[in-house]
Amino acid sequence: MQKKSLLILMLVLFVKLAAIAGPRSFVQAQKIAENQASRLGIVIDSKARAKARAINGVDSHLKQVVDYYVFPNGADKGFTIVSGDDRMPEIVGYADSGTYDENQMTEGMAMFLDSYKAMAEAVKAGAPAALSLLNEHRAMTASPKRASAKVAPLLGQIQWNQGYPYNMMCPKYNGNDRSVTGCVATAMAQIMAFWKYPKKLMADIPAYTTRTNKINMPGISQGATYDWDNMLPRYVEGNYNNTQAEAVAKLMLHCGAAVEMDYGSSSGAVVNYYHLTKYFGYDVDLIANVFRANYSIAEWADLIDRELSAGRPILYGGFSSTSGHQFVCDGSNGSGLYHINWGWGGYQNGYFDITILNPKKGGAGSGNAPDGYNRNCDMIIGIQPDNGIVDEPLVFTPSLEINKYTSENLNTYFNITKDTRANESEAFSLSFGDALFSTTTNPFNGKFAYAINDGKGGYTLICNPRNLSIPTGEFVETNFNFAPKNGTYTIYGVYCKKGETTWHKCLYTNGMKPITLIATTDKLVKANSLLSATITPAGKIVGLKRPPSTWR
């Protein structure tokens, strides 16, 4: 009874707080922005104040409720972005140099602000998952145990871009148009320039044909060297020679070829840690791909802080259904904002609140559509030259991943094929179609099954395990009966490696989530799913390559 009363009291308080909270006014936001500028030693002048009124439409005579405000600090003195909802953290991001121009925004920052806007809209709409994420963020920042690292930008003055001279060795398309390097190659190359490693290419990069423009890219032989001493932190027209231009262009080409860059006007690719270990010799013991959906906000922030404190820049990415962007996270202000190098020649580099995006769980109103605020953020951590010793892994990385897959013939799916029963002892029927991939360059050998938590830190299998040997990826359909007692159950894909006895949860990536079901005496319903309901022939197993990506 006491627990019930406490729950009711908490609900009442939550509703009252939600009612009290509201839009942040321009004047309130301006005060926050000017305080932030003052902390940086910047004095806002009258021209900057007038520009802020114009940017934010203050004099339009229309009452506006905005997701965020933008305040320029003055000519080439940066800007501050302030949230438009007083329930959200005050500062969205800031820079102490450069300018804010919505018509000339970096692709990465545009994606970030679009994601932030979607999150803010979900909070205003009262979406439970968004409010839960916001409460999680508040708890993290209020925790006395939380001590965010303060790390000056590790890349220092390294501010590379995607155009000339960086792309001078990239292929042409449409006859005479030079491809840009792509954000993946630029982000990779900047981190490699920080380390000035390797001295030479560690493995042959095979030839391939680009997907969109069908450009035949030749292979690159192992042993090609890199001229780190002739690579400049910045390339300003008229301030570099041909040797310096060729040094950076060669590195950019090799990074692009390693990830099979889809060259064109907006070159795109997908990067995994093995591109850095196989071709460029980065430490295979430490490096890892980690995905935001598998961590709480506090865990994610701790991962970032540990990496930056260890002196390792992070390859950070986020994508929607239409595009993706890779950039470098290389510093922290000690107050929960992280320094981002967008890979546009230093333009709009600054500190941003990247932890507030991409909630761990979906749910009603959570933006389950791929363009909602539930962005698929990930990081490659542990990027450093091989130290020649066997290191303990920074994180445990599952050996098998469940990834979203869509093609003409195959689509990941979940379906309840029998959703009623006469009594609690009778079984329902379930059907899964999942795309399974090895998370390493080695094939996966072992068993795969579906399971629920056993309440003791392990898993209880709810279907017969299947023996699998997966060179790269396979589409696996599984049909089975499930006879649960009344209650709520989350069903996970789990695996057990050959020669082992412990079952582990698969890594869920690209927006995929475990399935949550609610069972009653006579009915089974799906509580939440990001999967389609297209069913393929029973028992089908089809070999897969990794699905194409649209990182730009």
Which residues are annotated as catalytic?
183, 325
CA distance 268 to 270: 7
> Which H or E element spans position 384?
none
Contact 424, 486 (CB under 8 A): yes
Looking from the CA of 549 toward its CB, the CA atoms found within 13 Å total 25
Contact 355, 297 (CB under 8 A): yes
H-assigned helices in 296-427: 297-309
Strands (DSSP E) along 239-309, which ranges?
Answer: 288-291
Strand 400-403 and strand 507-508: pairing? parallel
Enter the tokens of residue 345.
């020649």
Please, what's the b/e burial string for 63-84 (b: 16 or more CB within 10 A of its CB; e: otherwise)?
Answer: eeebbbbbbbbbeebbbbbbbb
> Which H or E element spans position 169?
none
CA distance 117 to 115: 5
H-assigned helices in 377-514: none
CA distance 258 to 445: 26
- Cross-strand partners of 127: none
Residue 370 phi, psi (nearest 5): -55, -25
* Length of the chain, in residues: 552
Give 415's contacts (C-beta < 8 A, 6+ positions apart).
430, 431, 533, 535
SS3 289: strand
DSSP letter, residue 77: B
Contact 330, 308 (CB under 8 A): yes
Token pair 């580099």: residue: 349
> Which H or E element spans position 66?
none
